[in-house]
């Protein structure tokens, strides 16, 4: 490789921590990343169109569980992080990392409009020597097909004048062990110089960087990871349905299989999948393959099984009430946990929302409690507020449904007060008394 003068200049700035970093999108991915780079000594500008977020960041207040305010505040006070809701000054940034949402359309096709909008906003500020990195999960080809033409439209060449890479985020909200810094970072550039530049930048803040040969490979790696989870959760959900038919306890079956020290990995059944990743990302891959006339069969099947689980929960709830000579219509159902995941408040795509709506559609009077989410958006965007977790509310319910297994719940007390419990996560496994009231998924 001949010497690339733009790389040399960028390298000097990165190594001396004088490189200025911009992070577009200050959500679950962007804010922890901003903190990590600031912690490593870089000055970071966060760009987010949501003024509530930029105001909170500038006040040093975190709204993301994995970033404590006590960690953010000193970085803001020392001028290492600041946030803005516009793209002015992007030309002064040496590296711009994009972490905007990548949802699905109703048709389950990718919606990359947020990526396109952020690139359109960055485009007028692009200059030689900059490094642009996409972090949003997307289909293989996005970085080359969507970002590269925008960057090169002014006559600059990627790999020669400026650098472009894809690096998937692997943040696992609520994970105490693995956070942004100690989770290895995959990096794939448009050219070898691009990979080198991006790997060098991440290497300053992240413990381990794993370079790959192309942006497409890096995009595919993320989709393999999340498809792996979606398919295995789909498999174990189907195993749960099989165990129900066979009259077996699926949890005992999983615990037993997990004693095998090799060749088996534990996944759990549950009320369905949620969050911004597992229900959506595999469809990005399936869509891309459809354009190549290939059907991603595992993805479709897993999506069908996982998407069906809220209905399974409602069927089980109906059966429990039926046993007690009660109809769903008019029954009082108290749902515990509406976040899609234990110990987080993230309700995006949460199966709890489907469970609640399906129960309401059958005429049940549904209340809910979640220590991390005090309100949800019900049907037609209506905001529904949570109820307190009191003995009185538990006793008043015909059925308590545990949808999210938050660690802070006192399951002994819940089972003691509840008349009947449907436990979709085996959260009550440690409860000794009142087991006769519990039905597991
Ligand atoms: N949340 C996770 O656990 C996770 C994990 C790995 C990867 N990802 C991926 O990372 C990406 C971001 O996810 P997230 O969970 O951080 O989303 P998020 O919704 O929490 O944050 C995205 C932010 O981008 C902002 N935004 C939207 N359009 C913008 C624009 N044009 N300019 C500036 N800001 C804009 C939004 O206001 C929001 O604050 C997605 O592609 C997601 O699939 C998420």
pLDDT tens-digit profile of 2-57?
789 999 999 999 999 999 999 999 999 999 999 999 999 999 999 999 999 999 99
**Ligand 1 atom closest to residue 137's alpha carbon, by position in its atom list:** 41
| Whole-number average pLDDT of the chain | 96
The predicted pLDDT at position 65 comes to 84
Q: To test ligand 1's pocket by mutation, which of 22, 23, 26, 27 has the most ligand atoms within 8 angstroms of CB? A: 27
The predicted pLDDT at position 68 comes to 94
Q: Which residues line ligand 1 (CB under 6 A)?
A: 24-30, 47-50, 53, 99-102, 114, 117-118, 135-137, 169-171, 173, 276-277
The predicted pLDDT at position 174 comes to 78
pLDDT tens-digit profile of 267-288?
999 999 998 889 999 999 999 9
Query: Which regions in the chain score pLDDT beneath 70?
Result: 1
Q: To test ligand 1's pocket by mutation, which of 32, 48, 97, 343 has the most ligand atoms within 8 angstroms of CB? A: 48
Neighbours of 2 (CB within 10 A): 5
The predicted pLDDT at position 107 comes to 87
Establish whether 277 is a catalytic residue: yes
This prediction's pTM? 0.92
pLDDT tens-digit profile of 113-142?
999 999 999 999 999 999 999 999 999 999
CA distances from 273 to 43, 237, 339, 416, 427 (A): 37, 10, 11, 29, 17
The predicted pLDDT at position 220 comes to 98
The predicted pLDDT at position 276 comes to 84
- What residue's CA is closest to ligand 1, atom 37? 50
The predicted pLDDT at position 299 comes to 97
Cβ(244)–Cβ(424) under 8 Å? no
The predicted pLDDT at position 421 comes to 98
Sign of CA dihedral 57, 59, 65, 70: positive
């Amino acid at each position: 490789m001949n010497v690339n003068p733009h790389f040399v200049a960028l390298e000097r700035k990165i190594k001396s921590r004088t490189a200025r970093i911009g992070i577009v999108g200050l959500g679950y991915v962007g804010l922890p990343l901003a903190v990590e780079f600031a912690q490593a000594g870089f000055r970071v500008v966060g760009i987010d169109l949501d003024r509530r977020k930029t105001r909170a960041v500038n006040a040093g207040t975190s709204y993301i569980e994995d970033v404590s305010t006590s960690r953010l505040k000193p970085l803001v006070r020392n001028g290492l992080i600041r946030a803005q809701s516009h793209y002015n000054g992007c030309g002064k940034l040496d590296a711009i990392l994009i972490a905007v949402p990548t949802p699905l359309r109703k048709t389950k096709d990718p919606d990359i409009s947020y990526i396109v909008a952020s690139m359109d906003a960055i485009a007028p500020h692009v200059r030689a020597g900059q490094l642009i990195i996409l972090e949003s999960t997307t289909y293989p080809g996005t970085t080359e097909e969507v970002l590269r033409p925008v960057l090169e439209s002014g006559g600059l060449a990627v790999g020669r004048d400026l650098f472009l890479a894809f690096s998937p985020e692997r943040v696992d909200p609520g994970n105490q062990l693995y956070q942004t810094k100690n989770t290895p970072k995959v990096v794939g550039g448009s050219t070898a110089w691009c990979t080198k530049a991006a790997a060098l930048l991440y290497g300053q803040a992240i413990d381990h960087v794993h370079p790959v040969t192309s942006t497409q490979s890096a995009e595919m790696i993320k989709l393999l990871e999340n498809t792996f989870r979606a398919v295995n959760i789909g498999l174990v959900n189907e195993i749960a349905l099989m165990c129900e038919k066979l009259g077996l306890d699926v949890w005992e079956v999983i615990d037993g299989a997990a004693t095998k020290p090799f060749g088996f990995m534990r996944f759990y059944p549950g009320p369905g999948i949620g969050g911004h990743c597992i229900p959506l990302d595999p469809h990005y891959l399936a869509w891309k393959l459809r354009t190549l006339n290939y059907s991603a069969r595992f993805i479709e099947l897993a999506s069908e099984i996982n998407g069906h689980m809220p209905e399974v929960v409602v069927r089980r709830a109906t059966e429990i009430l039926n046993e007690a000579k009660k109809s769903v219509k008019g029954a009082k159902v108290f749902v515990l946990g509406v976040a899609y995941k234990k110990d987080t408040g993230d309700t995006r795509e949460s199966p709890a929302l489907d469970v609640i709506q399906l129960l309401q559609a059958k005429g049940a009077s549904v209340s809910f409690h979640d220590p991390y989410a005090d309100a949800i958006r019900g049907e037609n965007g209506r905001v529904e507020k949570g109820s307190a977790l009191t003995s009185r509310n538990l006793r008043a319910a015909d059925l308590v449904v545990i949808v999210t297994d938050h660690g802070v719940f006192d399951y002994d007390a819940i089972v003691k007060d509840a008349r009947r419990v449907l436990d979709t996560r085996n959260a009550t496994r440690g409860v000794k008394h009142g087991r006769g009231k519990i039905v597991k998924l």
